[in-house]
Amino acid sequence: MAILVTGGAGYIGSHTAAALLERGEEVVVLDNLQTGHRQAADGCTHFYEGDIRDEALLDRIFGSHEIDAVIHFAANSLVQESMTDPGKYYHNNVYGTLCLLERMRANGVKRIVFSSTAAVYGEPERVPIEETDKTEPANAYGETKLAMERMIRWFDAAHGIQNVSLRYFNAAGAHESGRIGEDHAPETHLVPIVLQAALGKRPHVAIFGDDYPTADGTCIRDYIHVSDLADAHLLAVDRLRRGEGSAVYNLGSGRGYSVREIIEQARRETGRDIPVVVQPRRAGDPAVLVASSERAKRELGWNPRRSDIGTIIRTAWAWHTAHPEGYGDR
Ligand code: UDP
């Protein structure tokens, strides 16, 4: 049996495809390369360049491979862009997922692992955040991801499409081989931006606000190694294959680091100077986001073993020093 990975040339998708291949799964990747990189999916023998909204293509893929599960990453994921162009997010994310689910139903594919996000919670009521906490997204991106989660659940109720939604906190780090890593254009995420500054590719890191109600005034986030995230997808597929039913899991390390702590850690790991400039707050940033991942540990047997901040920065730095231009395709 094969697993279809939509968005398998993206950051988390490519690390998950690599983990699937490492355990001997047959992997089929579908990616429109809008934000993904062809090289990131180099190890995958079955690669389709195309869009999840192309229903004829989906039928062709389902007709050509014995697919028993889909891992669905393909989506737009920039918070700020989602606020200025929500239509793009509803079209690609929500309508795209509808197309995928319809073609799964028509082709009798009954398992889906869905790439969701901590952004479904919005401003948290308490930390650490648990899966049962209220979901009230503060931006259009989170709103579309929550709509996708809910749509998938209705397809379960009506058509028996069993699903696991994985709500990621802050993905960071790179594959231990140094072969694949994080390359967004434009880059908006803290860890790659800090390492680009360490490489001298940026003059400084802008700290977005140092007047938050935290110990050093900067925002606290829960950073989780991308390969630990990848592992959780494999465990989620296993759960669905065992027929244990649908579920939602937070994926985080359970430990928060401030923006200043990340920069300090990067200075230690790289031995480089990293200049900072304090700027105004970025709209929509909650002060503290930290996950409780007890449910994933308990029910999936998930063990995030690479998510100490040293390993995250070290693996990300290895990727950045080996690929100063990223994949070099933009
Ligand atoms: N951040 C920052 N400067 C940057 C990028 C990010 O201060 O150049 C902060 C951002 O405000 C947030 C944290 O770093 O508090 C993590 O941001 P990122 O965009 O990496 O992830 P998010 O938490 O928004 O998903």
Q: What is the pLDDT of residues 132-187, one digit of tens each?
A: 999 999 999 999 999 999 999 999 999 999 999 999 999 999 999 999 999 999 99
Instruction: List the one residue out of 183, 208, 185 whose CA is nearest residue 195.
Output: 183
pLDDT at 74: 98
Residue 45 confidence (pLDDT) = 87
CA of 227 to the centre of ligand 1 (A): 20
119 shares a domain with 105? yes
| pTM as predicted | 0.98
Task: Give the separation between CA 215 and CA 171, rounded to whole angstroms.
Answer: 23
| Residues 102 and 199 reside in one and the same domain | no
Per the domain annotation, does 268 fall within a domain?
yes
Q: Which of 117, 108, 167, 154 is nearest to 138 (CA)?
A: 117
pLDDT in tens, 247-272: 999 999 999 999 999 999 999 999 99
- 16 and 7 Cβ atoms separated by less than 8 Å: no
Contact between 280 and 208 under an 8 Å Cβ cutoff? The reply is yes
| Inter-residue contact 227 to 178 (CB < 8 Å) | no
Q: Are 322 and 180 spatial neighbours (Cβ–Cβ below 8 Å)?
A: no
Whether the pLDDT of residue 330 is over 90: the answer is no
Same domain? For 216 and 233 the reply is: no
Integer Cα distance of 228 and 170 in angstroms: 12
Cα 57-61-67 angle, rounded to 5 deg? 145
Mean pLDDT value of segment 324-328: 94
Q: Indicate which residue's Cα is closest to atom 19 of ligand 1.
A: 189
> Span 88-116, mean pLDDT?
98
CA neighbor of 212 nearest in space, from 261, 280, 275, 267: 280
Residues 58 and 205 in one domain: no
Task: Return the pLDDT at 284.
Answer: 80
pLDDT digits (tens, 9 = 90+) for 213-238: 999 999 999 999 999 999 999 999 99
Residue 32 reports pLDDT greater than 90? yes
The pLDDT assigned to 50 comes to 98
Are 134 and 270 in a shared domain?
A: no
Instruction: Please indicate, yes or no, whether residues 102 and 201 belong to a single structural domain of this protein.
Output: no
Q: Give the number of the atom of ligand 1 that is nearest the alpha carbon of residue 193.
A: 8
Q: Are residues 274 and 313 in the same domain?
A: yes
Category of 43 on φ-ψ map: left (φ > 0), alpha (ψ -120 to 50) or beta:
alpha
Measured in degrees and rounded to the nearest 5, phi and psi for residue 170 equal -95, 100
pLDDT (mean) for 115-139 = 96
Instruction: Indicate whether 237 and 307 sit together in one domain.
Output: no
The reply to whether 17 and 86 lie within a common domain is: yes
Higher-scoring residue by pLDDT: 163, 284: 163
Peptide bond into 137 cis (omega under 30): no
Q: Would you say 162 and 156 are in contact if contact means Cβ atoms under 8 Å apart?
A: yes
**For residue 283, is pLDDT > 90?**
no
Confidence of residue 278 (pLDDT cuts 50, 70, 90): very high
**How many helices, marked H, and strands, marked E, lie in the chain?**
11, 14
Whose C-alpha lies nearest to ligand 1, atom 6?
190
HSE-up of 250 (CA within 13 Å, CB side)? 26
Q: How confident is the model at residue 65 (pLDDT cuts 50, 70, 90)?
A: very high
Q: What is the pLDDT of residue 89?
A: 98
Which atom of ligand 1 is found nearest the CA of 172?
20
Mutate which of 139, 205, 208 to test ligand 1's pocket (most atoms within 8 Å of Cβ)? 208
Q: At what angle do helices 226-241 and 11-22 cross, to 10 degrees?
A: 60
Q: 220-221 and 257-258 as β-strands: parallel, antiparallel, unpaired?
A: antiparallel
Indicate if 141 belongs to the active site: yes
Average pLDDT of the residues in 182-208: 97
In this structure, what CATH number is given to the domain that contains residue 50? Answer: 3.40.50.720
| Predicted pLDDT of residue 116 | 98
Rounded to 5 degrees, φ, ψ at 219 are -65, 145
Query: Does residue 246 register a pLDDT over 90?
Result: yes
- Backbone φ, ψ for residue 283 (5° rounding): -60, 140
Domain around 294: 190-222+254-322
- Measure the CA–CA gap between 250 and 265, rounded to whole angstroms: 25
Selecting among 48, 141, 223, 257, the annotated active-site residue is 141
Structure token digits, residue 51? 């869009």
Residues contacting ligand 1 via CB (< 6 Å): 170, 188-190, 193, 205-208, 219, 221, 259, 282, 285
pLDDT mean over 34-42: 96
